[in-house]
């Protein structure tokens, strides 16, 4: 990765490597650009595999401590989740 650095002899901006002696003349005065991506990923909101994911812990009820089991959305059930 190249980092901005000033050449002390010519007082020009360069990009230099911190691990080796490589450096190159900067073609622009821009040393940092923050590009934000507002596009939503194609898997956003997909929860069909959450029930079989071993890394997701079993949620517990905050009132009684019993495990809450999400059954997913059933055809006849409008709320989409059941607790036992």
% of residues, the chain, pLDDT over 90: 26
Q: Over range 16-43, report the average pLDDT.
A: 83
DSSP 68: P
Asked if 36 contacts 55 with a C-beta cutoff of 8 angstroms, the reply is: no
pLDDT: which is higher, 36 or 73 = 36
With residue 24 as reference, give the H or E element that holds it: strand 23-25
Whole-number Å distance between alpha carbons of 25 and 16: 9
Query: Residue holding tokens 């059933």?
Result: 74
Residue 76: band (very low, low, confident or very high) from pLDDT cuts 50, 70, 90? low
Q: What is the pTM of this model?
A: 0.40
Give domain 1-29's CATH number out of 2.20.25.10, 3.40.920.10, 3.10.20.30, 3.40.50.1100: 2.20.25.10
Residue 34: band (very low, low, confident or very high) from pLDDT cuts 50, 70, 90? confident
Q: Over range 1-30, report the average pLDDT.
A: 91
């Amino acid at each position: 990765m190249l980092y901005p650095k000033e050449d002390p002899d010519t007082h020009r901006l360069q990009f230099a490597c911190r691990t080796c002696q490589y450096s190159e003349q900067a073609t622009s005065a821009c040393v940092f650009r923050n590009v934000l991506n507002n596009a939503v990923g194609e898997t956003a909101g997909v929860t069909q595999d959450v029930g079989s994911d071993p890394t997701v812990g079993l949620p517990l009820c905050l009132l009684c401590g019993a495990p809450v089991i999400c059954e997913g959305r059933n055809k006849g059930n409008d709320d989409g989740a059941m607790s036992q």
